[in-house]
Amino acid sequence: MRPLLALTRAPWPDRLFAYLPYVSLIGLAVLVADIMLSFEEPHSLLLIAGAVLLCAAPVGMLIHFTATSQLSPDEKRLWMAALATRRAPALFAAYFLPDERARATQRLATTPEVRR
């Protein structure tokens, strides 16, 4: 068991990347609030801001997926195949943290239905 003082912080790009799902949730909340509280028609600036925030996690994942050197080309193929299955929401959530991504990649490598 590691002592609490020995914990190290993740590099800032990984920490920033880990916050993207929360930014998307804020975007969803802005969209819902704008639609529910608007009288007759939504406020266009808030609608656009909410839509942009909502797209933060998927776009960030796509950019990270194409630009990262943390995944080999074979692992990227596994992830693409797995994100097209019904387990995509769970894998989408696991992709944003490096430890969870590594565990999910190991599970994907041993899953026969994804390796085909």
Structure pTM? 0.75
Give the model confidence (pLDDT) of 8-58 as tens digits: 566 767 788 889 999 999 999 999 999 888 877 878 899 999 999 999 999
Asked if residue 85 belongs to a domain, the reply is yes
Q: Are residues 63 and 20 in the same domain?
A: yes
Helix (H, G, I), strand (E, B) or coil at 81: helix
Backbone angles phi, psi at 95, to 5 degrees: -70, -25
Asked if residue 74 belongs to a domain, the reply is yes
Asked if residue 59 belongs to a domain, the reply is yes
Q: Are residues 112 and 87 in the same domain?
A: yes
Domain total in the chain: 2
Question: At a CB cut-off of 8 Å and minimum separation 6, what does 86 contact?
Answer: none
Asked if residue 7 belongs to a domain, the reply is no
Range of the domain at 91: 70-116
Q: Are residues 60 and 97 in the same domain?
A: no
